[in-house]
Amino acid sequence: MTEPIDLDALLDAMTLDEQASLLSGADFWSTVAIPRLGVPAVKVTDGPNGARGGIFKDGPSTACFPVGIALAATWHPELIADAGAALGTEARLKGARVLLAPTVNLQRTVYNGRNFECHSEDPWLSSEMAVAYINGLQSTGVAATIKHYVGNESEFQRMSVSSDIPERPLRELYLLPFERAVKEAKVQCVMTGYNRVDGTFMADHHRLVTQVLRDEWGFDGLVMTDWMAHHDTVQSVLAGCDLEMPGPARERGDKLVAAVREGRLSADAIRACARRVLQLAERVGSFADPVIPAERDDDLPAHRALIRRLGAEGAVLLKNDANALPLAPQAGQTVALIGHAAVTPQIMGGGSANVNAHYRVSPLAGLQAACPGVKLVHRPGADNHRYTPLMPVPMTVSFWANDHFDGEIVATQTSPNTEIMWFGSLPAGLDPYNFSARTTLRFVAEADGQHAFSLISTGLARATLNGEAVLDAWTNWQRGDTYFTFGCDEVVHHRALKAGDVVDLQVEFSTAVAGGGFGVHALRVGASRLMGEADIAAAVDAARAADVAIVFAGLNAEWDNEGLDRPGIALPHAQNELIARVVAANPRTVVVLQSGSPLLLPWLDAVPAVLQAWYPGQECGNAIADVLTGAVAPGGRLPQTWPLRLDDTVAFGDPAQYPGVDGHVRYGEDVFIGYRHHEARGHAVLFPFGHGLGYTSFEQTGLTLDRTVLQPGEVLSASVTVRNTGTRAGSEVVQLYVHDAASTLARPPQELKAFAKLSLQPGESRTVRLTLDMRAFAAYDVDRAAWWAEAGDFEIRVGSSSARIHQRATVRLLADWREPVGR
């Protein structure tokens, strides 16, 4: 057994400069080592749906798991713990001992660009998933990093916006997943958000980091900033934020030492943060094994199988009239696959969650394997992109060691497509703040029509087409919403081309503008034909001639992306028209949706079956095929309400509440988000929270409570029997909601407080027991600074969604129960 490290003796042996050095990263992904004292570096890597490693794009491949909302859609904590453990193994393969995951910000609005990465609109479901994920991950010796603490519910002005959150919703909603992660899962790291809360940047927020996180909840681990989210040298240390990332130091290092010598900061404050950095290194085993190994790209069969299972367990069958699903196509029949996503698998969202997957199984490939002898015909039908699609050809870039193409070419680099991201992957010897680059590309039009050519860059960029200067992201360059807000907005040029026309592009890039933060740069070149009426007509013809049509519609990682929010929740381009016309041509049409949050479905009444598949990871096509063909029953339930109208959603029509005014976004809806909001206002919804169908039927009966009266402090137990009344195996999620019959505080009509998922064979029944402690009945009372359950009646509601309550029972709390914060 390894002897424990005497951290205090180690700190005593350090100079102030050495202690201060520990409070910033050494580079983009590692902490600082102090070789003379045997202090090791610790490598971290991005999650939450994979372990990427040190190269942002096109590095060693890794397993790509379903995104956060897809994991939560399983409503299966035990399975999520398995996913966490697998991700721990994946992190180890990349030499990392800290995974920057899970993301537990709530889906406050439908606009947030990172809703796909988060678990749910509901704090209990989100926290159940987080606790399971962290327990699984940390069982492998890899530290979890719960993020983004706190109030990071949108991407608009994300580096500076202040989330102004009243104390009650802060406690009841947004802090709860973090609180449970600390108290129940013993999470080892917390990452602060970019945003401010009530005017103070989270990395500098003494009340929330020290008073709440550390003092009230007892968190003894490490707090790190999000990347480039550090602002104040002194205040962040005083707030209890230990580690500035990435490195090298920007606001710390020598500035910290100067602050101590000038009397603005005590040396003890630096020592306290440094101790927690050392403690993390000890907890993850870096002192015992200080070597950071080379990254490996092992493709593990067990992880393949787990990802495939997770994809099916999280797939939500939204509608299934007349048992249109599962499909049973026979040899010799024709199935028309419509939509780009049928052949271009949408496996994940965009931003820091993006990984270089080992492989990507398309729905076409999955269905080919599942349906031998069936003829599969594909037509794209309509566009689904946000930006002009990349050219699927290698792009070789030449570099100069200055920002103005002077002298000799010093390096070259090849990307597998026409996007290159220099996040830890710039050729050796180049200064990430001072280089220029050039590439040439050839585009050949495959069909007549209007074509788009585009540029996006984090520095100056320009391009000529056949010698003509038409793409200018150089003159008057300014930051936009791309590449974590360090890139410009897309610059687009349109021109009509005939099939066979050749366009030669010369593209130039320069760092002669402060675009890329911390020397992080990217260049993206797009070129594609715009789809139109002829493409829809071809898809309709294919559907009409087929026995079954499957339309793959939705979004992709350009819409569900870190750094920018969604403009709305309608399907982009002509996808709604495409679906309506396909189903008119063939009533045997199934729609498979892929998105990271709700969509409006104006054609829903006409389509017999709709499956929401999310972004299910590298086994995308296999998981979808498993569900469509009935090899596996769909196991998912919605973690987020799907509204009937955009107008009905939280913050709609009030700029102060979204996206914000003058740098502040006001959480004026209080505790009423998600289903709480819709139910309190009597809104009809498209699909309620917790909704999901299967290929069998269930009944829930026999709700019993172990007592009908509660003394303050007691635990209530509720039992429910579930029986599979159909002819196929399947799973049911028992959802328990609590309704406060009469409260002094305004409370939602009901709140999820427990759930259980059961898999049952036909005719099988099982009794499940759910327990509720006092917090299940309590609200946060600001005046009392306490959790407060008010004496009176509470209705226990059990059902299969927030809108399908099958049984009710009442329990009476005989006296008020109060728990002051900090206990």
Q: State pLDDT tens for residues 46-103.
A: 999 999 999 988 899 999 999 999 999 999 999 999 999 999 999 999 999 999 999 9
Q: Which of 82, 164, 226, 403 is catalytic?
A: 226
Q: Name the pLDDT band for 520 (thresholds 50, 70, 90).
A: confident
Q: Give bridge partners of residue 609 from the DSSP assignment.
A: 320, 590
**φ, ψ at 706 (rounded to 5°):** -75, -5
Residue 375 has pLDDT above 70, yes or no: yes
Predicted pLDDT at 480: 92
Q: Give bridge partners of residue 731 from the DSSP assignment.
A: 759
Predicted pLDDT at 4: 87
- Residue 798 Cα distances to 63, 319, 629, 730, angstroms: 37, 22, 31, 19
Per-residue pLDDT averaged across 722-727, rounded? 98
Q: State pLDDT tens for residues 463-504.
A: 999 999 999 999 999 999 899 889 999 999 999 999 999 999
Q: State pLDDT tens for residues 567-589.
A: 999 999 999 999 999 999 999 99
Q: Name the pLDDT band for 3 (thresholds 50, 70, 90).
A: confident
Residue 707 has pLDDT above 70, yes or no: yes
Expressed in angstroms, the distance from the first to the final Cα of the chain is 35
CB 245 within 8 A of CB 26: no
Residue 823 has pLDDT above 70, yes or no: no
Per-residue three-class SS string for 340-364: HHHCCCCCCCECCCCCCECCCCCHH
* Total residue count of the chain as it appears in this document: 823
Pull the structure tokens for residue 585: 């041509």
Residue 686 has pLDDT above 60, yes or no: yes
Q: Which candidate, 635, 670, 629, places its Cα nearest to that of 650? A: 670
CB 388 within 8 A of CB 495: no
Q: What does the alpha-carbon distance between residue 217 and residue 726 come to, in Å, rounded to a whole number?
A: 46
Among 228-232, 252-256, 371-375, the range scoring the smallest mean pLDDT is: 228-232
Predicted pLDDT at 257: 97
Q: What does the alpha-carbon distance between residue 13 and residue 15 come to, in Å, rounded to a whole number?
A: 7
Q: Name the pLDDT band for 231 (thresholds 50, 70, 90).
A: confident
Name the more confident of 364 and 1. Answer: 364
Per-residue pLDDT averaged across 202-230, rounded? 97
**φ, ψ at 235 (rounded to 5°):** -65, -35
Per-residue pLDDT averaged across 323-342, rounded? 96
Please, what are the domains in the chain?
395-529 (2.60.120.260), 696-820 (2.60.40.10)
Predicted pLDDT at 606: 98
Q: What amino acid is encoded at 782 in this protein?
A: V
Per-residue pLDDT averaged across 378-404, rounded? 96
Q: What does the alpha-carbon distance between residue 60 and residue 297 come to, in Å, rounded to a whole number?
A: 6
Q: State pLDDT tens for residues 295-318.
A: 999 999 999 999 999 999 999 999
Residue 370 has pLDDT above 90, yes or no: yes
Query: Quick check: helix, strand or coil at residue 593?
Result: strand
This prediction's pTM: 0.96
Active site residue 816: no
**Percent of the chain residues topping a pLDDT of 90:** 97
Q: State pLDDT tens for residues 151-202.
A: 999 999 999 999 999 999 999 999 999 999 999 999 999 999 999 999 999 9
